[in-house]
Amino acid sequence: MNDFLSIEKVFRHFGPLRAVDGVTLQIRQGEIFSLLGPSGCGKTTLLKMLAGFEKPDAGRLILNGQDITDLPPERRPVNTVFQNYALFPHLSVWENIAFGLRIARRPKVEITAAVERMLAMIQLGDHAKKKPAQLSGGQRQRVAIARALVNEPKLLLLDEPLAALDLKLRQHMLAELQAIHAQVGTTFIYVTHDQGEALSLSHRIAVMEAGKVSQVDSPRGLYEAPATSFVAGFIGDANFLEGRVEEPLSHGRLRVTVAGLGRLVVTGHATLLVGQTVRVMVRPERLHLTQERPVLTAGENALPTRIESVTYFGPHAKAQVRCGPHTLHVQQPSGKTLLATDTEGWLHFEPEAARVVD
């Protein structure tokens, strides 16, 4: 595996607070790697240590074979894009982008060529003479990204760069960021608390909780096979059921008993023991609602249910249903005939839709 950046057992404490508590991560060259977690989980502190604005209390940072742990920020081949753009208000777009190269005393022709290339990449060639105040939020952020990429850093750090933009613009900028990444190929480390942003942008994501890494995987891996209920609940919506392992079955399946629902066939890992208490996670869109008792495939689970409420969201609808003592959330494409509130029906799902997470 090509480990371009190694974060090795890094700690940063503020008094008794363990902001970053023994983080180890291997990041590959050219990937978009996100640090995702709730406010206060330590992602910005970790990013600041990569930039050189914070010093680790312990641990090492190795970039492309070079130990950068003790290097000052200006000597690291690393640039940062912040949420608030941090552009120079008195300089034009052109001068903002050229700034880093001027400081580095690069030759004039080189600066001109690099700035023109960046302006073309962010499609702001026509706005080169404008001041930041004359640009929209999305345009300002594109200038900030161009300014951070113009001197070809090995690593681009992005700290919630889209947080100040409205939803539509944020979605547009995500596509734009991917297009920029495809052009420059620089390794991006992207900090966000927004799971949608991380899922749609990243090659891999580290989910962080209280200074520690909970799980590292691809967006699909995290969504479909979360290792813990924290990850399952943070990435997307999830239903949880507490159960007890009854017997192991073939193909990684298990029979579990859930109070009030009886026996269900779910998916688990080989180390689970008969009698062990487990937590099972089912995504709302993996649950199916029908009026009649469905014809089941092998192992499929079916439960009689009562529909408590249905909410229409355009492309899909969400229902809250009652199965025995449990309330579950179901999501279905709105094209499907939905059951009405206060009617009886059946809820069914495949064993692969229900995974043991804890």
Q: What residues line the site for ligand ATP (CB under 6 A)?
A: 14, 17, 19, 37, 39-45, 193
Torsion angle, alpha carbons of 249, 288, 284, 265, to 10:
-10
Residue 16 vs 315, nearer CB to ligand ATP: 16
Closest residue to bound ligand ATP by CB: 44
Task: Give the integer Cα–Cα distance in Å for 339 and 347.
Answer: 11
- Determine the number of helices (DSSP H) and then strands (DSSP E) in the chain: 8, 20
Give me the least distance between CB of 251 and ligand ATP, in Å please: 39
Give me the least distance between CB of 15 and ligand ATP, in Å please: 7
Residue 193 vs 283, nearer CB to ligand ATP: 193
Give me the least distance between CB of 238 and ligand ATP, in Å please: 22
Distance of CA 25 to the CA centre of its chain: 15
Give me the least distance between CB of 43 and ligand ATP, in Å please: 4
Give me the least distance between CB of 205 and ligand ATP, in Å please: 14
Q: ∠ CA 101-155-36 to the nearest 5 degrees?
A: 135
Residue 111 vs 208, nearer CB to ligand ATP: 208
Residue 36 vs 227, nearer CB to ligand ATP: 36
Give me the least distance between CB of 39 and ligand ATP, in Å please: 3
Residue 127 vs 193, nearer CB to ligand ATP: 193
Please provide residue 100's backbone torsions phi and psi, each rounded to the nearest 5 degrees: -60, -35
Instruction: List the strands of the sheet with 155-159, edge to edge.
Output: 78-81, 155-159, 187-192, 32-36, 204-209, 212-217
Give me the least distance between CB of 192 and ligand ATP, in Å please: 8
Contact 104, 135 (CB under 8 A): no
Contact 338, 289 (CB under 8 A): yes
Task: Give the integer Cα–Cα distance in Å for 146 and 128.
Answer: 12
Residue 196 vs 252, nearer CB to ligand ATP: 196
Residue 209 vs 350, nearer CB to ligand ATP: 209
Task: Give the integer Cα–Cα distance in Å for 153 and 156.
Answer: 7
Task: Give the integer Cα–Cα distance in Å for 205 and 95.
Answer: 34
Task: Give the integer Cα–Cα distance in Å for 211 and 209.
Answer: 6
